[in-house]
Chain A
Amino acid sequence: MAKTLKYIFLICAGLSILLGLFFRPEHPHFWWEKIPAFDAIFGFLGCILIVVGSKALGHHWLQKDEDYYSD
């Protein structure tokens, strides 16, 4: 099950990147929209940034014990 999912995922991701090489925006507003597979890169790095950045913020500052407000 997990393995099939993995293959489906990899095929879809590969396909979307491949298609992205052929279909370009008609009127790009920003320079990065001209980079092939920009959204894929942005999605991957952005996700890592969100996870790592938020976890760092949480562990060093924001996260408290569950009874923080009750005592």
Chain B
Amino acid sequence: MIDTQPPAFIFIAGAILLPLLRERRLRRVFQLLIPVIAFIDLLYMPEGTYWIYNFLGYELILGRVDKLSMCFGYVFVIMAFLGMVYALHIRDTGQHVAAFLYMGSTLGVTFAGDIFTLFVFWEIMAISSVFLIWYQRDIAALDAGFRYIMVHIFGGCSLLAGIIIYVSNTGSTHFGFIEYGGLASQFILVGFIINAAVPPFHAWLSDAYPEATVTGSVFLTAFTTKSAVYVLLRTFPGLELLVWLGAIMAIYGVVYAVLENDIRRLLAYHIISQVGYMVCGVGLGTEMAMNGTTAHAFCHILYKALLFMGVAAVIQVTGRRKLTELQGRNLYKKMPVTLSLYMIGAFSISAVPLFNGFVSKTMVVAAAGELHRPIIHLLLHLASIGTFLHTGLKLPYGTWFGRVPEGEKVEEIEASEPPLNMLIAMGMAAFLCIFTGIYPKILYNILPYSVHYHPYTTFNVVAMMQLLLLTAGAFWLYIDKLGGEATISVDTDWFYRKPGMLFLWFVGHPLQNLRSGLQHLLSRTVASVASLSKNPILLPEIATRYIHLRIINRLYHIFGLAEDKVEELKELESRYAAIRKITYDKDVYRRPIGFGVLLAIVLLFLYGLIYFFTLR
């Protein structure tokens, strides 16, 4: 029996050891070895609850292993391997370290058995992932990364607040089903749905993912949202609110994808749309819906990674990321392999029969059907149309084929197939997409509940083909209207970006002016007090002369000044200036000692008087 370790630690150990390896070839082997070790580790992990540590009177549980956590664990580790193959040519060790920490913490979340462990890994996940954005090393990525981390810190704080209230209310740190109602559950839910990118808390995803590094965005697509789906499955199954949020989310992503010009942002909106199915499935809460959600998360990770790999390859070799800059350049001639592999991902996400999306997405939709939820059923159906329309038709057409709008000049662009390791990663992802699509049993066997659903009924296949083919027909009608437009679309990030800029302006201008004005006033007051304190004894005289001068000046200003008076005024002014220059000199102003005694007696008398009267 092999002694298993928490898979999170394997990845974190990998992150620590990786920078120590100087030899490049060795480092590459090591990068691929870590996910493989983690996978073997998973195979030997028995079901149960173990790796329990005591900390400040609480139990930290690092190994809560059941079918649900195992299913997510498997796909996360498979994805880690695919992503590492895809990123193998990157020499920047920092990126790999960030990716390892990110994947390790996601596995930590997956196998966490108590909410403290969950929270710690949750935060590491947010912090390590932002580096995959920042390593892009441009201003847009830096800004987007900051917005990303701010949103996630907000989410983390909300989660922590919820956890603290929950623990003090119930005394339990168990990470499991939470009854919705009350502050604790609401805070926790907000923390979770921020990571699941549920509108209106979704804008961080479409904002930041397209700015990440070419290889980093592939990692990002897989872990954050899907681990959020996992924790939702654990804590809020059957929550009605999630049904509606999920269905709206599925449509929401589709609508924005129509408008999007940036190819990675278009796919990012489709992550939101696809996670909508999963959130909806969590809300439906039946065994079939939970199975469907888990299966869809599994498949989604594979095909979404493949899609991102495909467009990221285009971005890498052409340096372009907008449909308006790519359409009509006939890239299909230069990157046929990338295109074919991308299309496998596109067919998978569109749920074409024989591809993996078909065996998972239809299960969620069927679960809505079994529960007789007509509106949800139709909304999810509608979102399927949009998915095929964009990822299956509009994006590949615009990127690899497309027509240039009339009057625009087309320049030849340099392009070729991406490096071999990228193609191999895409090939493996494509293989898995088709394999699970053709042989769904292997996926259904690892789902949390036993599966009584058969995707490949003739009706299902025929209905799906009708839906997709006629969508393609309608696309044909609008083919010229669906080209990219050089715009960006405002989303809910408007609510923190624009007011944020307004706030910065407010701080930089009105508030700054107020500060400098106040400072000026104060320093002038201090300066004049300081100059007066040079000779306090002359204060009465200076004051009377000053007032005298001001009054005369004022009067002359009003009534005019006679010629002979000018000299007089100048005389007064010079005398005033001379007096102000006199500093205190104790030899000049020394008083007889009797004066002091007299002063003391007078004060004593006054004090006695006050005392006498107040006593009565």
Q: Do A and B bind each other?
A: yes
Check if B459 sits within 8 Å of A47, measured CB to CB.
no
The total of chain A residues at the interface (CB under 8 A) is 40
Distance (Å) between the CB of A25 and the closest chain B CB?
5
B481 partner residues in chain A, CB cutoff 8 A: 51, 55
- Are A63 and B466 neighbours in the complex by a CB distance under 8 Å? no
Contact flags (1/0) for B436-472 with A, using CB distance below 8 Å?
0000000000000000000001110011111111111
Q: Are A64 and B487 in contact (CB under 8 A)?
A: yes
**A50 touching B258, Cβ below 8 Å:** yes
B471 near A47: Cβ-Cβ < 8 Å:
yes
Contact string, A29-63, partner B, CB cutoff 8 A, digits 1/0? 11000000111111111111111011101100011
Size of B's binding interface in residues, CB under 8 A: 47
Interface residues of B in 359-390 (CB under 8 A from A): 369-370, 372, 374, 377, 381-382, 385-386, 389
Chain A proximity of B203: nearest CB distance (Å): 12
Is A9 touching B473 in the complex (CB atoms < 8 A)?
A: yes
Distance, CA A48 to CA B374, complexed state (A)? 21
Residues of B at the A interface (CB closer than 8 Å) are: 254-256, 258-259, 369-370, 372, 374, 377, 381-382, 385-386, 389, 457-459, 462-478, 481-482, 485-491, 497-498, 501
B217 CB to nearest A CB, Å: 20
Residues in chain B near residue A12, CB distance under 8 A: 465, 469
Whole-angstrom distance between the Cβ of A43 and the nearest chain B Cβ: 4
On whether the beta carbons of B372 and A29 are closer than 8 Å, the reply is yes
> Which residues of chain A are near B464, meaning CB under 8 Å?
39
Are B389 and A17 in contact, with the CB atoms below 8 A?
A: no
Judge whether B463 and A39 touch: CB under 8 Å: yes
Query: Known: A40-B470, A54-B259. Is A47-B490 also a contact (CB below 8 A)?
Result: no
Chain B residue contacts of A68, Cβ below 8 A: 488, 490
Bound Cα distance A41, B488 (Å):
32
Cβ contact of B385, chosen from A16, A29, A50, A64, cutoff 8 A: A50
Q: Are B469 and A26 in contact (CB under 8 A)?
A: no
Q: Residues of A contacting B256 with CB < 8 Å?
A: 54, 62
Question: How many angstroms between the C-alpha atoms of A42 and B468 in the bound complex?
Answer: 10
Our pick among B259, B459, B468, B497 for the contact of A43 (Cβ within 8 Å) is: B468
Number of A-B contacts (CB under 8 A): 135
Report the minimum CB–CB distance from A63 to chain B (whole Å): 4
Q: Which of B457, B469, B487 contacts A13 (CB 8 A)?
A: B469
Flag if B258 contacts A51 (CB, 8 Å).
yes
Q: Across the interface, do B471 and A43 meet the contact criterion of CB distance under 8 Å?
A: yes
23 contacting pairs across A/B (C-beta < 8 A):
A9-B469, A19-B458, A19-B462, A25-B459, A29-B377, A40-B466, A40-B469, A42-B467, A43-B466, A46-B381, A46-B382, A47-B386, A47-B389, A48-B474, A48-B477, A50-B389, A51-B478, A51-B481, A54-B254, A54-B259, A62-B256, A65-B488, A66-B487
Q: Are A13 and B382 in contact (CB under 8 A)?
A: no
Contact partner of A29 (CB less than 8 A), chosen from B370, B457, B471, B487, is: B370
A58 to B485, CA, bound (A): 11
A7 is an interface residue with CB less than 8 A from chain B: no
Contact call A24/B459, Cβ cutoff below 8 A: yes
**B258, A30: Cβ atoms closer than 8 Å:** no
Residue of A nearest to B377 (CB): A30
Chain A residues whose CB sits within 8 angstroms of the CB of B475 once the complex forms: 47
In the complex, A37 Cα to B466 Cα: how many Å? 7
Known: A64-B488, A64-B490, A65-B487. A16 touches B469 (CB 8 A): yes
Cα-based distance from A50 to B482 in the complex (angstroms): 11
Contacts of B487 in A (CB 8 A): 58, 63-66
Apart from A13-B469, A47-B386, 14 more pairs, CB < 8 Å: A9-B473, A13-B470, A39-B470, A40-B469, A43-B470, A45-B474, A58-B487, A64-B488, A64-B490, A65-B488, A66-B487, A66-B488, A68-B490, A69-B497
